[in-house]
Every structure is written in structure tokens, then in C-alpha cells.
Amino acid sequence: MQRTTTPADDTTALAEALERFAEVFSHADTHSALGQYLACSEADALAALLALAGRADAAQSLIEHHGRSDEPDENHYRKAVRAEESAPKVQ
């Protein structure tokens, strides 16, 4: 006998899958490793899912890591910051 699913079953499964996705893809080390290999549209799509899953900080982190590898004419370009520029100045 073939099992049929209801829309409620599908909604629950989708919500659980989205939560698992957000959990796995919310880590900064994942953003650092993956961001440079994504096209802007791919980074935007992943960030949108993270944001919808309640992980706005992770979405922003993914875009920031992705932007470090973008060229100046691309959507998410971030100017590279040298270590000496980001370190606080001691007087």
C-alpha cells in the first residue's frame, strides 16, 4: 500500500528541513569556506533561507564572507582590510 502525505505532513517536513539547514549553515567557518565559491545569486538564495529561518546574523555573515571574494563591480564586494588597518591603535 502506498503511503500518502497530507499538506500538514509536507509543511512539518519542510519546517524541520529548514531548521536543520539553518543549523548546519549558520556557522562562520562554513561561511568562510563556502562563501568564495558562490555566485552572488547563490549567496543571496542561501542568505534568504537563513534569514527566513530566523538566522539573520548568519545570513549577514554568509554575505560578508562571500563579498570578500567578489570583484569591485559585483553586488557584495567588500574591500579587503589589512590586519594593521583593523587592529586598534595604541598610543
Domain ranges of the chain: 13-86
3-state secondary structure of 18: helix
Whether 83 has a pLDDT exceeding 90, the answer reads: no
Cβ contacts of 66 within 8 Å, gap of 6 or more: 31, 35, 36, 38, 40, 43, 76
Structure confidence at residue 91 as a pLDDT band (50, 70, 90): very low
pLDDT digits (tens, 9 = 90+) for 12-64: 999 999 999 999 999 999 999 998 899 889 999 999 999 999 999 999 999 98
31-32-38-44 Cα dihedral, nearest 10 degrees: 40
Question: At 14, phi and psi to the nearest 5?
Answer: -65, -45
Give the pLDDT confidence score for residue 88 in this predicted structure: 46
